[in-house]
Structure 1
Protein backbone atom coordinates (compact mmCIF):
# COMPACT_ATOMS: atom_id res chain seq x y z
CA UNK A 1 0.00 0.00 0.00
CA UNK A 2 2.91 2.31 0.75
CA UNK A 3 4.29 1.70 -2.73
CA UNK A 4 0.96 2.69 -4.24
CA UNK A 5 0.93 5.90 -2.20
CA UNK A 6 4.46 6.70 -3.38
CA UNK A 7 3.55 6.17 -7.01
CA UNK A 8 0.36 8.18 -6.81
CA UNK A 9 2.12 11.05 -5.05
CA UNK A 10 4.91 11.00 -7.65
CA UNK A 11 7.78 10.01 -5.33
CA UNK A 12 8.60 6.67 -6.95
CA UNK A 13 9.70 7.01 -10.57
CA UNK A 14 10.93 3.47 -11.29
CA UNK A 15 7.54 1.78 -10.78
CA UNK A 16 4.61 2.27 -13.10
CA UNK A 17 1.12 2.88 -11.79
CA UNK A 18 -0.11 -0.44 -13.21
CA UNK A 19 2.61 -2.39 -11.44
CA UNK A 20 1.81 -0.66 -8.18
CA UNK A 21 -1.91 -1.30 -8.48
CA UNK A 22 -1.24 -4.94 -9.36
CA UNK A 23 1.00 -5.36 -6.31
CA UNK A 24 -1.54 -3.64 -4.07
CA UNK A 25 -4.44 -5.75 -5.32
CA UNK A 26 -2.87 -9.19 -5.01
CA UNK A 27 -4.45 -11.46 -2.46
CA UNK A 28 -2.57 -13.06 0.39
CA UNK A 29 -2.14 -16.84 0.37
CA UNK A 30 -4.68 -17.22 3.17
CA UNK A 31 -7.27 -15.17 1.29
CA UNK A 32 -6.62 -17.16 -1.87
CA UNK A 33 -7.16 -20.44 0.00
CA UNK A 34 -10.37 -19.15 1.59
CA UNK A 35 -11.67 -18.02 -1.81
CA UNK A 36 -10.72 -21.35 -3.39
CA UNK A 37 -12.36 -23.41 -0.65
CA UNK A 38 -15.51 -21.24 -0.64
CA UNK A 39 -15.95 -21.43 -4.43
CA UNK A 40 -15.09 -25.11 -4.61
CA UNK A 41 -17.47 -26.04 -1.79
CA UNK A 42 -20.21 -23.92 -3.38
CA UNK A 43 -19.61 -25.72 -6.68
CA UNK A 44 -19.75 -29.17 -5.10
CA UNK A 45 -22.87 -28.27 -3.10
CA UNK A 46 -24.59 -26.98 -6.25
CA UNK A 47 -23.66 -30.12 -8.18
CA UNK A 48 -24.90 -32.42 -5.40
CA UNK A 49 -28.05 -30.34 -4.99
CA UNK A 50 -28.64 -30.63 -8.72
CA UNK A 51 -28.40 -34.41 -8.51
CA UNK A 52 -30.86 -34.42 -5.59
CA UNK A 53 -33.30 -32.18 -7.49
CA UNK A 54 -33.19 -34.51 -10.50
CA UNK A 55 -35.92 -36.65 -9.00
CA UNK A 56 -38.50 -33.86 -8.68
CA UNK A 57 -41.42 -34.27 -11.06
CA UNK A 58 -41.66 -32.00 -14.12
CA UNK A 59 -38.93 -29.45 -13.28
CA UNK A 60 -36.35 -31.81 -11.79
CA UNK A 61 -34.28 -32.25 -14.93
CA UNK A 62 -34.09 -28.52 -15.62
CA UNK A 63 -33.06 -27.80 -12.01
CA UNK A 64 -30.48 -30.57 -12.22
CA UNK A 65 -28.98 -29.10 -15.40
CA UNK A 66 -28.86 -25.56 -14.00
CA UNK A 67 -27.39 -26.49 -10.63
CA UNK A 68 -24.98 -29.08 -12.01
CA UNK A 69 -23.65 -26.74 -14.70
CA UNK A 70 -23.40 -23.82 -12.27
CA UNK A 71 -21.55 -26.11 -9.85
CA UNK A 72 -19.04 -27.10 -12.53
CA UNK A 73 -18.47 -23.49 -13.55
CA UNK A 74 -18.00 -22.44 -9.92
CA UNK A 75 -15.58 -25.30 -9.27
CA UNK A 76 -13.62 -24.36 -12.39
CA UNK A 77 -13.46 -20.71 -11.34
CA UNK A 78 -12.34 -21.65 -7.83
CA UNK A 79 -8.92 -22.64 -9.15
CA UNK A 80 -8.39 -19.07 -10.32
CA UNK A 81 -8.00 -18.08 -6.68
CA UNK A 82 -4.95 -20.33 -6.39
CA UNK A 83 -3.03 -19.12 -9.44
CA UNK A 84 -4.72 -15.93 -10.47
CA UNK A 85 -7.03 -15.55 -13.45
CA UNK A 86 -4.42 -14.91 -16.16
CA UNK A 87 -2.14 -17.76 -15.13
CA UNK A 88 -5.11 -20.12 -14.88
CA UNK A 89 -6.34 -19.14 -18.35
CA UNK A 90 -2.84 -19.70 -19.73
CA UNK A 91 -2.71 -23.14 -18.09
CA UNK A 92 -6.15 -24.00 -19.45
CA UNK A 93 -4.78 -23.32 -22.93
CA UNK A 94 -1.60 -25.40 -22.52
CA UNK A 95 -1.16 -27.99 -25.23
CA UNK A 96 -1.75 -30.82 -22.74
CA UNK A 97 -5.21 -29.58 -21.72
CA UNK A 98 -6.51 -27.31 -24.48
CA UNK A 99 -8.68 -30.07 -25.97
CA UNK A 100 -10.16 -30.90 -22.55
CA UNK A 101 -10.82 -27.20 -21.92
CA UNK A 102 -12.55 -26.75 -25.26
CA UNK A 103 -14.66 -29.87 -24.74
CA UNK A 104 -15.57 -28.84 -21.19
CA UNK A 105 -16.66 -25.35 -22.20
CA UNK A 106 -18.48 -26.69 -25.26
CA UNK A 107 -20.43 -29.25 -23.24
CA UNK A 108 -21.26 -26.62 -20.60
CA UNK A 109 -22.76 -24.43 -23.31
CA UNK A 110 -24.49 -27.29 -25.13
CA UNK A 111 -26.05 -28.51 -21.88
CA UNK A 112 -27.63 -25.14 -21.25
CA UNK A 113 -28.65 -24.71 -24.92
CA UNK A 114 -30.31 -28.12 -25.05
CA UNK A 115 -32.22 -27.46 -21.83
CA UNK A 116 -33.43 -23.92 -22.47
CA UNK A 117 -33.20 -23.22 -26.17
CA UNK A 118 -33.84 -26.59 -27.81
CA UNK A 119 -35.88 -27.93 -24.84
CA UNK A 120 -34.56 -31.46 -25.40
CA UNK A 121 -34.15 -33.13 -22.00
CA UNK A 122 -32.52 -36.29 -23.32
CA UNK A 123 -29.86 -34.31 -25.14
CA UNK A 124 -29.33 -32.13 -22.07
CA UNK A 125 -28.76 -35.20 -19.93
CA UNK A 126 -26.31 -36.60 -22.49
CA UNK A 127 -24.39 -33.31 -22.51
CA UNK A 128 -24.34 -33.34 -18.69
CA UNK A 129 -22.68 -36.76 -18.75
CA UNK A 130 -20.18 -35.57 -21.37
CA UNK A 131 -19.62 -32.44 -19.27
CA UNK A 132 -18.75 -34.63 -16.28
CA UNK A 133 -16.34 -36.74 -18.33
CA UNK A 134 -14.66 -33.65 -19.85
CA UNK A 135 -14.33 -32.05 -16.40
CA UNK A 136 -12.79 -35.25 -15.00
CA UNK A 137 -10.32 -35.46 -17.91
CA UNK A 138 -9.47 -31.77 -17.46
CA UNK A 139 -8.91 -32.28 -13.73
CA UNK A 140 -6.68 -35.31 -14.35
CA UNK A 141 -4.43 -33.16 -16.54
CA UNK A 142 -3.14 -31.39 -13.41
CA UNK A 143 -2.02 -34.65 -11.78
CA UNK A 144 1.25 -35.98 -13.22
CA UNK A 145 0.79 -39.25 -15.13
CA UNK A 146 -2.88 -39.52 -14.09
CA UNK A 147 -4.14 -39.53 -17.66
CA UNK A 148 -1.65 -42.21 -18.65
CA UNK A 149 -2.73 -44.33 -15.68
CA UNK A 150 -6.41 -43.96 -16.65
CA UNK A 151 -5.69 -44.92 -20.25
CA UNK A 152 -3.80 -48.03 -19.06
CA UNK A 153 -6.61 -48.91 -16.67
CA UNK A 154 -9.26 -48.67 -19.38
CA UNK A 155 -7.09 -50.58 -21.86
CA UNK A 156 -6.78 -53.41 -19.33
CA UNK A 157 -10.55 -53.43 -18.84
CA UNK A 158 -11.18 -53.65 -22.57
CA UNK A 159 -8.88 -56.65 -23.07
Structure 2
Protein backbone atom coordinates (compact mmCIF):
# COMPACT_ATOMS: atom_id res chain seq x y z
CA UNK A 1 0.00 0.00 0.00
CA UNK A 2 2.87 2.33 0.85
CA UNK A 3 4.39 1.80 -2.60
CA UNK A 4 1.09 2.65 -4.23
CA UNK A 5 0.88 5.88 -2.24
CA UNK A 6 4.40 6.83 -3.32
CA UNK A 7 3.64 6.04 -6.95
CA UNK A 8 0.47 8.10 -6.98
CA UNK A 9 1.74 10.99 -4.91
CA UNK A 10 3.11 14.09 -6.57
CA UNK A 11 6.37 14.01 -4.55
CA UNK A 12 9.40 13.78 -6.74
CA UNK A 13 11.67 12.40 -4.03
CA UNK A 14 13.21 9.82 -6.38
CA UNK A 15 14.21 12.51 -8.83
CA UNK A 16 15.85 14.52 -6.05
CA UNK A 17 18.14 11.62 -5.16
CA UNK A 18 21.39 11.46 -7.04
CA UNK A 19 22.11 8.70 -9.53
CA UNK A 20 24.75 7.18 -7.25
CA UNK A 21 22.28 7.03 -4.34
CA UNK A 22 19.61 5.48 -6.54
CA UNK A 23 22.09 2.90 -7.86
CA UNK A 24 23.29 2.13 -4.35
CA UNK A 25 19.72 1.68 -3.09
CA UNK A 26 18.91 -0.63 -5.99
CA UNK A 27 21.95 -2.85 -5.55
CA UNK A 28 22.27 -3.26 -1.82
CA UNK A 29 23.09 -6.78 -0.73
CA UNK A 30 22.36 -8.42 2.57
CA UNK A 31 25.30 -8.97 4.91
CA UNK A 32 25.13 -12.74 4.36
CA UNK A 33 25.24 -12.30 0.59
CA UNK A 34 28.20 -9.94 0.93
CA UNK A 35 30.13 -12.47 3.03
CA UNK A 36 29.37 -15.29 0.58
CA UNK A 37 30.43 -13.13 -2.38
CA UNK A 38 33.64 -12.17 -0.62
CA UNK A 39 34.50 -15.77 0.27
CA UNK A 40 33.70 -17.10 -3.21
CA UNK A 41 35.77 -14.41 -4.98
CA UNK A 42 38.66 -14.63 -2.53
CA UNK A 43 38.88 -18.44 -2.60
CA UNK A 44 38.50 -18.50 -6.40
CA UNK A 45 41.29 -15.89 -6.63
CA UNK A 46 43.60 -18.00 -4.48
CA UNK A 47 42.77 -21.16 -6.45
CA UNK A 48 43.49 -19.43 -9.77
CA UNK A 49 46.78 -18.01 -8.46
CA UNK A 50 47.90 -21.42 -7.21
CA UNK A 51 46.76 -23.07 -10.44
CA UNK A 52 48.72 -20.49 -12.40
CA UNK A 53 51.82 -21.24 -10.34
CA UNK A 54 51.42 -24.97 -11.02
CA UNK A 55 50.96 -24.30 -14.75
CA UNK A 56 54.26 -22.41 -14.80
CA UNK A 57 56.13 -25.69 -14.51
CA UNK A 58 54.48 -27.17 -17.59
CA UNK A 59 56.05 -26.81 -21.01
CA UNK A 60 55.06 -23.41 -22.44
CA UNK A 61 53.02 -22.68 -19.32
CA UNK A 62 54.23 -19.08 -18.99
CA UNK A 63 51.22 -17.57 -20.72
CA UNK A 64 48.76 -19.59 -18.66
CA UNK A 65 50.72 -18.78 -15.52
CA UNK A 66 50.60 -15.04 -16.14
CA UNK A 67 46.90 -15.09 -16.99
CA UNK A 68 45.75 -17.32 -14.13
CA UNK A 69 48.01 -15.69 -11.53
CA UNK A 70 46.95 -12.18 -12.50
CA UNK A 71 43.23 -12.99 -12.71
CA UNK A 72 43.56 -14.66 -9.30
CA UNK A 73 45.10 -11.54 -7.79
CA UNK A 74 42.47 -9.30 -9.39
CA UNK A 75 39.66 -11.52 -8.06
CA UNK A 76 41.17 -11.46 -4.58
CA UNK A 77 41.38 -7.68 -4.76
CA UNK A 78 37.83 -7.34 -6.11
CA UNK A 79 36.47 -9.64 -3.39
CA UNK A 80 36.68 -6.81 -0.88
CA UNK A 81 34.15 -4.87 -2.96
CA UNK A 82 31.53 -7.23 -1.55
CA UNK A 83 32.40 -6.17 1.99
CA UNK A 84 32.56 -2.41 1.57
CA UNK A 85 31.00 -1.71 -1.82
CA UNK A 86 32.77 -0.81 -5.06
CA UNK A 87 32.73 2.98 -4.65
CA UNK A 88 33.99 2.82 -1.08
CA UNK A 89 36.65 0.31 -2.16
CA UNK A 90 37.88 2.64 -4.91
CA UNK A 91 37.98 5.57 -2.48
CA UNK A 92 40.03 3.52 -0.03
CA UNK A 93 42.33 2.16 -2.75
CA UNK A 94 43.27 5.64 -3.87
CA UNK A 95 43.50 7.14 -0.37
CA UNK A 96 46.70 8.98 0.50
CA UNK A 97 48.12 6.05 2.46
CA UNK A 98 47.51 3.47 -0.30
CA UNK A 99 47.84 5.28 -3.61
CA UNK A 100 51.46 4.28 -4.30
CA UNK A 101 50.82 0.63 -3.46
CA UNK A 102 47.62 0.64 -5.54
CA UNK A 103 49.33 2.13 -8.58
CA UNK A 104 52.24 -0.29 -8.23
CA UNK A 105 49.85 -3.27 -8.05
CA UNK A 106 47.94 -2.09 -11.13
CA UNK A 107 51.13 -1.38 -13.10
CA UNK A 108 52.59 -4.78 -12.17
CA UNK A 109 49.39 -6.53 -13.25
CA UNK A 110 49.69 -4.90 -16.68
CA UNK A 111 53.45 -5.50 -16.93
CA UNK A 112 53.06 -9.16 -15.97
CA UNK A 113 50.61 -9.71 -18.79
CA UNK A 114 52.73 -7.72 -21.25
CA UNK A 115 55.89 -9.64 -20.33
CA UNK A 116 54.16 -12.99 -20.72
CA UNK A 117 51.79 -12.39 -23.64
CA UNK A 118 53.55 -9.80 -25.80
CA UNK A 119 57.24 -10.21 -24.97
CA UNK A 120 57.21 -13.94 -24.12
CA UNK A 121 59.94 -13.25 -21.56
CA UNK A 122 59.67 -15.78 -18.73
CA UNK A 123 62.20 -14.17 -16.41
CA UNK A 124 60.63 -10.72 -16.72
CA UNK A 125 57.14 -12.15 -16.19
CA UNK A 126 58.24 -13.93 -13.01
CA UNK A 127 59.99 -10.80 -11.72
CA UNK A 128 56.81 -8.80 -12.41
CA UNK A 129 54.75 -11.43 -10.57
CA UNK A 130 57.04 -11.27 -7.55
CA UNK A 131 56.81 -7.47 -7.48
CA UNK A 132 53.04 -7.75 -8.01
CA UNK A 133 52.81 -10.10 -5.01
CA UNK A 134 54.93 -7.82 -2.81
CA UNK A 135 52.94 -4.72 -3.84
CA UNK A 136 49.66 -6.52 -3.14
CA UNK A 137 50.97 -7.63 0.27
CA UNK A 138 52.06 -4.06 1.08
CA UNK A 139 48.67 -2.77 -0.05
CA UNK A 140 46.89 -5.35 2.12
CA UNK A 141 48.99 -4.46 5.15
CA UNK A 142 47.71 -0.89 4.90
CA UNK A 143 44.31 -2.08 6.15
CA UNK A 144 45.78 -3.45 9.40
CA UNK A 145 46.70 -0.78 11.95
CA UNK A 146 50.48 -0.51 12.47
CA UNK A 147 51.12 -3.55 10.21
CA UNK A 148 53.32 -1.60 7.80
CA UNK A 149 55.42 -0.24 10.67
CA UNK A 150 55.77 -3.75 12.07
CA UNK A 151 56.83 -5.11 8.66
CA UNK A 152 59.39 -2.34 8.24
CA UNK A 153 60.88 -3.08 11.68
CA UNK A 154 60.90 -6.80 10.99
CA UNK A 155 62.79 -6.42 7.72
CA UNK A 156 65.11 -3.79 9.20
CA UNK A 157 65.98 -6.28 11.96
CA UNK A 158 66.67 -8.99 9.38
CA UNK A 159 69.01 -6.77 7.36
CA UNK A 160 71.14 -5.63 10.29
Q: TM-score, structure 2 length as denominator?
A: 0.89
Matches within 5 A, 1:1-159: 9-11=7-9, 13=11, 15-17=13-15, 18=19, 19-57=21-59, 59-159=60-160
Shift of 1:81: 0.6
| Alignment RMSD (CA, Å) | 1.8
Shift of 1:11: 2.9
Question: Compared with structure 1, are the counterparts of its residues 123 and 137 closer, same or farther at alpha carbon in structure 2 (3 Å cutoff)?
Answer: same
Structure 2: runs of 5+ lacking an equivalent:
none
- Partner secondary structure for residue 16 of structure 1: helix
- Tell me, yes or no, if the aligned pair for 1:6 and 1:12 is still in contact at 8 Å: no
- Point out the more displaced range, 142-151 or 13-22: 13-22
Deviations, residues 5-58 of structure 1 (Å, cap 9, x unaligned)? 765x2537263254455323211111111111110011000011111111111x
Question: Compared with structure 1, are the counterparts of its residues 34 and 130 closer, same or farther at alpha carbon in structure 2 (3 Å cutoff)?
Answer: same
Deviations, residues 103-136 of structure 1 (Å, cap 9, x unaligned)? 0000000000111112212111110110000010
